[in-house]
């Protein structure tokens, strides 16, 4: 199906956790206001941090490939 390495697999898991947090925020009627803010922060920040990590990883791999081609 897909050939994912460890970091890419972790990115997918991070995105799924963000979506789960957003769904919990929508359907979690029993959460108090403080809990809703915490879940909302997770729904926004978790995928954002994951995206930044993947961009940094892509830059690192690109720089490493450029370094290998110079040799």
Q: pLDDT tens digits for 2-61?
A: 677 787 777 778 778 777 777 777 776 766 878 777 777 877 787 788 778 878 888 888
| Total structural domains within the chain | 1
Domain span including residue 55: 6-70
Task: Report if residue 1 sits inside a domain.
Answer: no
Q: Are 5 and 37 contacting, i.e. CB atoms less than 8 angstroms apart?
A: no
Q: Are 17 and 46 contacting, i.e. CB atoms less than 8 angstroms apart?
A: yes
Q: What per-residue confidence (pLDDT) applies to 1?
A: 53
Task: Report if residue 54 sits inside a domain.
Answer: yes
Task: Report if residue 39 sits inside a domain.
Answer: yes
Task: Report if residue 61 sits inside a domain.
Answer: yes
């Amino acid at each position: 199906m897909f050939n994912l390495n460890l970091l890419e697999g972790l990115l997918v898991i991070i995105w799924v956790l963000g979506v789960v947090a957003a769904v919990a925020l929508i359907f979690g009627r029993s959460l108090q206001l403080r809990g809703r803010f915490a879940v909302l922060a997770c729904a926004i920040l978790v995928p954002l941090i994951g995206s930044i990590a993947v961009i940094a990883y892509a830059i690192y791999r690109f720089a490493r490939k450029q370094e290998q081609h110079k040799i």
